[in-house]
Amino acid sequence: MNDIYTKVKVNTVFLEIFNSEKPEIQTNPEVKFSFVKEISNSEYLEIYNRVGWDFGWAGRLILNAFELEETLKSVKSNIYLMYFKGSPAGFYEFDLTNNENVELVYFGLFPEFYANRLGRYLISSAIENAFVLGANRLFLHTCEYDSPAALPFYKKSGFKVYKTIVEEEYYLSEFIEKNKKTVS
């Protein structure tokens, strides 16, 4: 990998929720969701970076253009955009490799919408859509580089921790350098 990315050890927490445990769906008439049927690499990366840049996300950035395009076109990848008062406000993405056990691979709000407390509607939509698609279980992971509010948020949303591991992941080198002293 080049100097743009750094592979680091990261404490990762895996969480899950089962269809039988799903909480009541949270709705707001000012919040709408749209399933993205087709998206270009550049459109996707704009959304991905708006959500993940502050957290050093690199998982999709390390893919070459062909790999990213194939991932986005795959029936195993479902992307949903969230709109607040008509403006794009965040997204989530499923990996449907196993329809019984759906993974929420990317999830988040655009920074300018943090103060609007919209995360509960975003996670509620993700939970609802995973089970509408036929999943019995929805799982995700978070780590020490994500927002400090992420783990408590997922737990409050009904997810339970089932595994904690240390794994090696790529992050933006600039992010790692900037956060060296604040993140262990």
Q: Tell me what pLDDT residue 183 has.
A: 43
Q: How far apart are CA 148 and CA 144, in angstroms?
A: 8
In a domain, residue 164? The reply is yes
Cβ-proximal residues to 94 (8 Å cutoff; 6+ apart), any chain: 77, 78, 79, 102, 103, 104, 105, 126, 129, 130, 133
CA distance 48 to 172: 13
Extended beta strands in the chain, E state: 5-18, 31-36, 77-84, 87-95, 101-109, 137-143, 160-172
CA dihedral 5→6→11→14, nearest 10 degrees, is: 30
Name the residue among 131, 57, 62 with its Cα closest to residue 91: 57
pLDDT of residue 184: 43
Counting residues of the chain whose pLDDT is more than 70, the rounded percentage is 97
Q: Is residue 38 one of the residues assigned to a domain?
A: yes
User: What's the angle, vertex CA 51, arms to CA 38 and CA 71, rounded to 5?
Assistant: 35
Mean residue pLDDT of the chain comes to 94
Strands 77-84 and 87-95: antiparallel
* 75 within a domain of the structure (yes/no): yes
pLDDT, one tens digit per residue, over 58-101 is: 999 999 999 999 999 999 999 999 999 999 999 999 999 999 99
Are 57 and 63 in contact by the 8 Å Cβ rule? The answer is no
Range of the domain at 45: 5-179
| pLDDT tens-digit readout, 18-30 | 999 989 888 999 9
pLDDT digits (tens, 9 = 90+) for 118-135: 999 999 999 999 999 999
Total domains in the fold of the chain: 1
Q: Give the CB-side neighbour count of residue 122, counting CA atoms within 13 A.
A: 29
- Domain presence at residue 58: yes
What are the backbone angles phi and psi of residue 83, rounded to the nearest 5°?
-120, 135
User: Which two structure tokens, joined as six digits, stand for 17?
Assistant: 């929720």
Per-residue pLDDT of 143-170, as tens digits, reads 999 999 999 999 999 999 999 999 999 9
Integer angstrom CA distances of residue 143 from 2, 103, 112, 133: 23, 15, 22, 27
pTM: 0.93
- The verdict on residue 125 lying in a domain is yes
Q: Is residue 36 part of a domain?
A: yes
Tell whether 184 is covered by a domain. Answer: no
